[in-house]
Amino acid sequence: MFQAFNRIAAIATKELIHMVRDRMTFVSLLSVTIGYVIVFGYAINPDPRHIPTIVVDHDKSEFSRLYKAALQQSVYLEIDQRQLTSDQASEMLRKAQTSVVVEIPPDFTRNLLRGLPAQILVEADATDPVSLNGAITSTGEVARQTVAHLLRKDGIEATFTGEPKLEVRVQRRFNPQGEQTFFIIPGLVGMILNVSLLVMTAMSITKEKEQGSMEFLLVTPTEPWEMIVGKIIPTFLVGVVQVSIILAIAFLLFKLPLTGDPLALIALLLAYGITTLSVGILISSAAMSQMQAMQLSFFYFLPSILLSGFMFPYSGMPKWAQIISQGLPLTYFVRGSRGVFLKEFTLVDMWPHLWPIMLAGLVFGLLAVKSYRRTLN
Amino acid sequence: MAQSIIEVRDLTKTFGDKTVVDQLNMTIEEGQLYGFLGPNGSGKTTAIRMMCGLVPLTSGRGTCLGFDIATQAPKIKPLLGYMTQHFSLYRDLTVRENLQFVCKLYGIKDVAGRVTELVKQFAFDNEGRDNQRVGTMSGGWKQRLALACAMAHRPRILLLDEPTAGVDPKAREAFWDILQDIASTGVSVLVSTHYMDEAMRSNRIAYVLYGRLLVDDAPEKVLAAAPLVAAQVPLQEVFRHPHLAHDPRIVRLSQQGNSIRVVARSHEDIGSWVHDLAQHGLHAGTPVDIDVGLEDVFFYLTLQQQGSITQF
């Protein structure tokens, strides 16, 4: 028994020495762990506040002014101060430039005072069906309080025989049934591509280094870009197969609609796929072993999963986390993908989400070619 | 005079404050089989890597096939064959697939034809080895395949970095037969090795120590010029007497079964040393003269460089 303990201790000690001596892995593991815990601890909030909201006021009454002012006080909402039309607001909702649109019809106050049903229309971007619940509830709650306050203040309350007939009609747009799968799957396509393409590419060049075959390849007339493209093509084909499988399952099993232009989806998938492959090549150029490549890939995944809006709402993040999020290609993919599946995105609608991904791909691609070592030094 | 294929002058490489290759001068001629010798860490691999553009030069200059090794590596690569210490093969590919891959990298037009030629030349067609996965092959066959890969594009110079390390004697001998065949066709071959029997099969040998070139000559001339003699002395247990084993008259001492092999600068030194053994109660038989080998010469040179005579 004592000898077994000695052997276990010897193995554990040896493993610890390996870890500590692999400086890059050890230091990055510790620093990234600490950094990530702090960053994600602050950044992730599944019940977001300050949801971008537009109030379209056709009533222009004391109620609508008070209501807007009261909404502004709600922690759940961030009211856009611009005067926008219904169409403008609706388009902004479609393009994910706002999340909630509150519309007060022209006859709201008149109907209210006459004891007729007075409606407030709340349109919410239901591509993320859960995270806007607080904001939606808040619009109704604030409306009821404002009406009560107004009636009390003007002494009209006594003239009512019953309750004021306030109706808050909530329209969950783009995902009326509030299907959680419709929220997850468009982002999941990007996430799966992220994991598989990145790891496969990152491993492929480091494998050559570890096997020792890189030394031979460097003596052949093979140029860095030839090597990189040659490495990317098979992985890209694997990505195509994967996407086909994911889409088949999404359409057939989960009944996910494709409301937008299929070309916009293809453009998004291509741009995102190529960018992910470039990141993979960059990682494999930097890493000296497959283990390091794996770790660097993981460090890239984690912020992508947590800060891209794939799992946790973008609007729930503090400003600084939103800035980080805007540096991640998956953020744009998730928005573009949800747009094309659920919000009738055309190629033109897709462009604002497409070019940042393409730019990232270009930057990562150039860095990968530049950092690819032509010598063993 | 034969044309020089590789010519390096004052080739130097430092890593930090450590000089790995120190002002190396070498000339490899056309069709020459050049043995590159030296202990582990002597700078052989780094020197070979510098010659093929894998490692940048710290200082010095050199040409390979008329191209500057520091600035014209892309022009040298298509003309040069390289074999690494670890063979650089793909274990999950077959012999043919490995050869096809390399042929395509070098832009060979008739890939199928060249692969078939190589399969025949290196005898992979025996017992269907050409379709065998490399991972399942013995070290000797892997070594042979690595050489075939290095030869795929018919290079004019082959740089082989310890190609026979870890391979059995029969396979090593067969490998050197092939190398001599290749050299006879006009291809120059620079081959680093630890094995002295292999060095004797070279046209010329270079011996490096601590990055510096100590010997550069034909192997038979190196032996002829060696200021050493060797003898076999029937004796055991001399190593229990450290002062005898480390006697300054003796260059090299090794136990070989029931006798010891002694290398010294002269027969007189051996005679007087054997005589002294009796005073310590050791009864040696009559010394028998034997040949001095290259290893003895290099051992002696190494000790001289280290500034003292010590036993390894």
**Mean pLDDT, chain A, as a whole number?**
87
A191 vs A178, higher pLDDT: A191
Contacts of A215 in chain B (CB under 8 A): 54, 84, 88
Which pairs with CB-CB distance under 8 Å and at least 24 residues apart come from B24-27?
B24/B60, B24/B208, B24/B211, B24/B212, B24/B213, B25/B213, B25/B216, B26/B206, B26/B213, B26/B216
How far is residue B243 from each of residues A373, B11, B163, B250, B280, measured CA to CA in Å? 53, 41, 39, 11, 11
Q: Residue B245: which domain range?
A: 226-306
Q: Per-residue pLDDT for A157 more than 80?
A: no
Judge if A78 and A209 occupy the same domain.
no
pLDDT band (50, 70, 90) for residue B235: confident
**Model confidence pLDDT, tens digit, residues A2-53:** 888 888 999 999 888 888 887 777 777 787 788 788 878 888 877 788 889 9
Judge if B209 and B280 occupy the same domain.
no
| Range in A104-108, A112-116, B9-13, B258-262 with the lowest mean pLDDT | A112-116
**Model confidence pLDDT, tens digit, residues B98-127:** 999 999 999 999 999 999 999 999 999 988
Instruction: Please indicate, yes or no, if residue A60 is contained in any of the structural domains.
Output: yes
Q: Residue A25: which domain range?
A: 2-43
Judge if B245 and B98 occupy the same domain.
no
Q: Are A219 and B102 an interchain contact pair (Cβ–Cβ within 8 Å)?
A: no
Q: Per-residue pLDDT for B312 more than 60?
A: no
Q: Are B52 and A375 an interchain contact pair (Cβ–Cβ within 8 Å)?
A: no
Q: Are B54 and A218 an interchain contact pair (Cβ–Cβ within 8 Å)?
A: yes
User: For residue A113, what pLDDT is reported?
Assistant: 82
Instruction: Please indicate, yes or no, if residue B312 is contained in any of the structural domains.
Output: no
Instruction: Please indicate, yes or no, if residue B21 is contained in any of the structural domains.
Output: yes
Q: Per-residue pLDDT for A156 more than 70?
A: no
User: For residue B280, what pLDDT is reported?
Assistant: 81
Burial B229-242 (b: 16+ CB within 10 A, else e): bbbbbebeebeeee
User: For residue B204, what pLDDT is reported?
Assistant: 94
Judge if B54 and B139 occupy the same domain.
yes
**Model confidence pLDDT, tens digit, residues A267-295:** 999 999 999 999 999 998 888 888 888 88
Q: Are B84 and A377 an interchain contact pair (Cβ–Cβ within 8 Å)?
A: no
User: For residue B101, what pLDDT is reported?
Assistant: 95
Q: Per-residue pLDDT for A160 more than 90?
A: no
Last residue of a domain, one of B165, B187, B219: B219
Number of domains in chain B: 2
Nearest to A375 among B54, B80, B86 (CB): B54
Contacts of B201 (CB under 8 A, 6+ apart): B33, B35, B176, B179, B180
Number of domains in chain A: 3
ipTM, interface predicted TM-score of the complex: 0.84
- The residue type found at B42 is S
Residue of B nearest to A377 (CA): B55
Last residue of a domain, one of A145, A173, A201: A173
Please report the DSSP string for A64-131 in residue order. HHHHHHHHHH-TTEEEE-S---HHHHHHHHHTTS-SEEEEE-TTHHHHHHTTS-EEEEEEEETTSTTT
The helix or strand, by DSSP H or E, that contains position A249, with its residue range, turns out to be: helix A224-252
**Mean pLDDT, chain B, as a whole number?**
89
Rounded to whole angstroms, how far apart are CA atoms A376 and A362?
26
Q: Are A221 and B89 an interchain contact pair (Cβ–Cβ within 8 Å)?
A: no
A185 forms beta bridges with none
- Residues from A contacting B (CB-CB < 8 Å) are 211-213, 215-222, 375-377
pLDDT band (50, 70, 90) for residue B22: very high
Judge if A145 and A293 occupy the same domain.
no
Please report the DSSP string for A302-336 in residue order. HHHHHHSSSSS-GGGS-HHHHHHHTT-HHHHHHHH
Q: Are B52 and A376 an interchain contact pair (Cβ–Cβ within 8 Å)?
A: no
Nearest to B49 among A213, A221, A376 (CB): A376
- The residue type found at A370 is K
Judge if A61 and A37 occupy the same domain.
no
CATH of the domain at B258: 3.30.70
Judge if B34 and B161 occupy the same domain.
yes
Q: Per-residue pLDDT for B177 more than 80?
A: yes
Contacts of A220 in chain B (CB under 8 A): 77, 102, 105-106
Residue of B nearest to A230 (CA): B105
Contacts of A252 (CB under 8 A, 6+ apart): none
Mean pLDDT, residues B181-204: 91
Looking only at the bridges linking them, the beta strands covering B188-193 and B157-160 are parallel
Judge if A200 and A305 occupy the same domain.
yes
CATH of the domain at B94: 3.40.50.300
The tokens describing B67, both together, are 């191209």
CATH of the domain at A97: 3.40.1710.10
Q: Are B56 and A377 an interchain contact pair (Cβ–Cβ within 8 Å)?
A: yes
Residue appearing with tokens 């006859």: A107
Contacts of B142 in chain A (CB under 8 A): none
Residue appearing with tokens 């293809």: A266
Q: Per-residue pLDDT for B145 more than 70?
A: yes
Q: CA B93 from chain center: how many Å?
A: 29
User: For residue B141, what pLDDT is reported?
Assistant: 92
**Model confidence pLDDT, tens digit, residues A237-249:** 999 999 999 999 9
Q: Are B106 and A220 an interchain contact pair (Cβ–Cβ within 8 Å)?
A: yes
Judge if B281 and B192 occupy the same domain.
no
Last residue of a domain, one of B164, B191, B219: B219
Last residue of a domain, one of B170, B190, B219: B219
- Residues from B contacting A (CB-CB < 8 Å) are 49, 52-56, 74, 77-78, 80, 82-91, 102, 105-107, 149
Nearest to A212 among B77, B88, B107 (CB): B88
Please report the DSSP string for A157-193 in residue order. GGG-SS---EEEEEEEES-TT--HHHHHHHHHHHHHH
Nearest to A221 among B52, B74, B85 (CB): B74
Judge if A141 and A241 occupy the same domain.
no
User: For residue A100, what pLDDT is reported?
Assistant: 93
Judge if A218 and A167 occupy the same domain.
no
Instruction: Please indicate, yes or no, if residue B301 is contained in any of the structural domains.
Output: yes
Q: Are B84 and A216 an interchain contact pair (Cβ–Cβ within 8 Å)?
A: yes
Rounded to whole angstroms, how far apart are CA atoms A65 and A71?
10
Judge if A186 and A237 occupy the same domain.
yes
| Range in A320-324, B24-28, B276-280 with the lowest mean pLDDT | B276-280
Q: Hey, is A272 helix, strand or coil?
A: helix
Judge if A300 and A160 occupy the same domain.
no
Judge if B96 and B144 occupy the same domain.
yes
Nearest to B56 among A212, A221, A375 (CB): A375
B288 forms beta bridges with B232
The tokens describing A304, both together, are 């992508």
Looking only at the bridges linking them, the beta strands covering A77-80 and A51-57 are parallel
